[in-house]
């Protein structure tokens, strides 16, 4: 499987994402500068964390208007996996690939520590390696991770089982303790906690590795069926 890690001005978790996909998972991965991007030959798109364009206007708002996001939308429309973490999640909401918005943390302070999450939906291409209600530990590192949506959107997320991860002890005020959601098609995941920073025991947790392994396993199975 071949991943594209999209790099914007201000991305600072791109190397972490590359390390997780290429050096830990053992799959092909490229760091793809947003202006030089041609994504048609990639099987999966990874939008890393950081502060794209310095978080001017709103976090992810400027990056969401870049030409590369049109390619990401085309990629998603074909059913290929797209993972946005932290700033990547913010970009996905700003681009309209996921509903809702990310606001300032409830305590108006940047937070950087390990958090326990609950796997709410393990029937996705990203979470099939987990058990339902499994408790996992991922680090968070954000100042604007407070997920918000209106009541109608929240009802839709619940009805379609689009809430993938919730916080066990909500650190930032996110509605319904939401830490990560998918689109209705199930191939675009946005989450504030960092699975790519939880792929080795040295990092304090290996719980994020299952997420990347789930993506690859699903791709291999679907690729095998398509070529059978």
Active site residue 149: no
| pLDDT (tens digit per residue) in 156-169 | 999 999 999 999 99
CB atoms within 10 A of CB 223: 12
**DSSP3 helix / strand / coil % (the chain, rounded to 5):** 35, 25, 40
Q: Is 196 a catalytic residue?
A: yes
pLDDT for 222 equals 85
Q: Which residue has the higher pLDDT, 191 or 37?
A: 191
Percent of the chain with pLDDT over 70: 98
Of the candidates 49, 76, 108, the residue with the CA atom closest to the CA atom of residue 182? 76
pLDDT over threshold 70, residue 225: no
| The two structure tokens encoding residue 175 | 């509605």
Q: What is the pLDDT of residues 6-59, one digit of tens each?
A: 999 999 999 999 999 999 999 999 999 999 778 999 999 999 999 999 998 889
Report helix, strand or coil for 4: strand
pLDDT > 90: percent of the chain: 94
- Catalytic residue among 27, 75, 86, 142, which? 86
Q: What is the mean pLDDT of the chain?
A: 96
Domains parsed from the chain with CATH numbers: 2-227 (3.40.50.880)
Note whether 208 and 202 are within 8 A (CB).
no
Taking CA atoms, 42 is separated from 1, 32, 72, 93, 157, in Å, by 8, 11, 11, 22, 28
Q: Determine the Cα–Cα distance for residues 158 and 165; give it in Å rounded to an integer.
A: 12
CA 217 to each of CA 1, 88, 191: distance values in angstroms, whole numbers, following the listed order:
10, 23, 20
pLDDT at 228 over 60: no
pLDDT of residue 224: 62
């Amino acid at each position: 499987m071949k991943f594209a890690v999209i790099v914007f001005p201000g991305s600072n978790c791109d190397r972490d994402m590359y390390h997780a996909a290429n050096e830990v998972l053992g799959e092909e991965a490229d760091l793809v500068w947003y202006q030089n991007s041609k994504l048609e030959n990639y099987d999966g798109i990874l939008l890393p964390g950081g502060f794209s364009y310095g978080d001017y206007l709103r976090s992810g708002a400027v990056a969401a208007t870049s030409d590369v996001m049109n390619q990401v939308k085309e990629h998603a429309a074909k059913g290929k996996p797209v993972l946005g973490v932290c700033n990547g999640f913010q970009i996905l909401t700003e681009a309209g690939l996921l509903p809702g918005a990310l606001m300032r943390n409830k305590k108006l302070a940047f937070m950087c520590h390990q958090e326990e999450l609950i796997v709410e939906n393990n029937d996705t291409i990203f979470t099939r390696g987990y058990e339902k209600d499994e408790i996992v530990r991922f680090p968070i590192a954000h100042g604007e991770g407070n997920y918000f949506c209106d009541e109608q959107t929240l009802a839709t997320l619940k009805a379609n089982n689009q809430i993938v991860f919730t916080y066990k002890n909500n650190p930032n005020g996110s509605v319904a303790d939401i830490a990560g959601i998918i689109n209705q098609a199930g191939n675009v995941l946005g989450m504030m906690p960092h699975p790519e920073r939880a792929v080795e025991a040295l990092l304090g947790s290996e719980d994020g590795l299952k997420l990347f392994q789930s993506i690859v396993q699903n791709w291999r199975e679907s690729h095998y069926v398509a070529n059978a």
